[in-house]
Amino acid sequence: MTKTGPAEQGKARGGARRGAGRLRAFTCSLFPILLALSACDNVEWGGTELEIIPPPPSMVLAAPAAQEEAVQLGLPTGPVLFHLMKTARGSVLIPVGELSGDSLKTLRFSEEADTAEYQKRFRETVFPVGAQFRLFRRGAPVGTFTLQAHGDPTTCGIPTARGTSTVVAAAADADEFLAFAEGLSPEVRGQFNPPQVTGSINTYSSIVAERLILQAGLPRPRSWIGAQRDLDALEVLGGGHPEMSATYLVGDSLGVGPADPQGYSIFYLADYETARGYTPVYTEVRDYRKTGKQAPALVDYLNWNGQPGEEILIRVFGRTDSWYEAIALQGGRWRQVWEGDRCR
């Protein structure tokens, strides 16, 4: 679906002035004169004051590459999911993956493609300067992002971008969003009303983590508060109680960088049951002695593919790079449905 930008508009205001007890009227075509005076802001002509208002700029829309070019270079032909992060230097837009059925397709240029040409055409077709994007937070639309400049590509060769974002007041404190190009975003309705971390979530968060740690034969952390690096309330299943996701780290930090070789990470999604409280429905337990540093954390969730239920985007931090994962409820259980390339 493609939306056209607003049509160019011009507006002239005029009014006859009364003077010396009589009304002066003029009957002539203003069109040639307006063309000649279009560079002026305010013009008084023959007793009539005209205000020339320039037309608003047309919206720049992303336009996916043609099939032949996409095959040659490896460019996406469908909607692309983006991760937007607020930083001290402004908002940064990172391409995540191309929507492909009920999953995502990794953004990757073909082996035959010239890297510079791929990046050039990616910027021109996927996110040109001036393009607008719809922002989503906790499953709801919350604002827009306008691309102002292209940024450095990732180590995987995928371009990034910078710009300005505007969000509703309720989402002003959030630092991360999901995004789609205007005209290519999913049809998501509803208002932003994020679930809150409740007392039950705070109570059960470390209890669930301890069970997973002991099941994996890992040592308990010295401090549960210190090990808990991320805790979020989600609304992906319904049922009156919010779900929760949490990340616990030992000997590590939630970001790209070194970690204790003896450390570990715990990530889980938990649902509430009246008889049992919160129980995990999806887990990732990594012993760094076997896997090296891999520290996952929730980015956000959204129904981005139009299928029943929400999809969840996770970002995993390694020692020198990071990558994305997507999980979804399929066949009655939560599972990983996609994992992207490791980049920085």
Residue 48 scores a pLDDT above 50: no
> Quick one: which of 337, 266, 343 has its CA closest to 99?
337
**pLDDT on residue 344:** 87
Residue 37 — pLDDT band, cuts 50, 70, 90?
very low
* Contact yes or no for 279/271 (Cβ under 8 A): yes
The residue ranges of every structural domain in the chain are 1-58, 67-181, 199-339
Per DSSP, which regions of 138-197 are E strands? 140-151, 160-167, 176-181
Distance CA 74, CA 188 (A): 29
Share of the chain above pLDDT 90, in %: 71
The single-letter DSSP state of residue 182 is: T
Average pLDDT of the chain to the nearest whole number: 85
For residue 233, what are the β-bridge partners? 244
Residue 15 — pLDDT band, cuts 50, 70, 90?
very low
**pLDDT on residue 60:** 65
The single-letter DSSP state of residue 341 is: -
**pLDDT on residue 49:** 47
85-127 pLDDT, tens digit each:
999 889 999 999 999 888 899 999 988 889 999 999 999 999 9
**pLDDT on residue 71:** 77
For residue 290, what are the β-bridge partners? none
Residue 212 scores a pLDDT above 60: yes
Residue 199 scores a pLDDT above 70: yes
What is the rounded average pLDDT of the residues 287-314? 96
Q: Which of 63-67, 183-187, 239-243 has the lowest mean pLDDT?
A: 63-67
**Better-predicted residue by pLDDT, 24 or 172:** 172
**pLDDT on residue 343:** 94
Q: Which of 62-71, 137-146, 155-164 has the lowest mean pLDDT?
A: 62-71
Share of the chain above pLDDT 70, in %: 81
**pLDDT on residue 110:** 87
Pairs from 328-332 (Cβ < 8 Å, separation ≥ 24):
328/102, 328/103, 329/236, 329/237, 330/102
Q: Which of 23-27, 215-219, 282-286, 321-325 has the lowest mean pLDDT?
A: 23-27
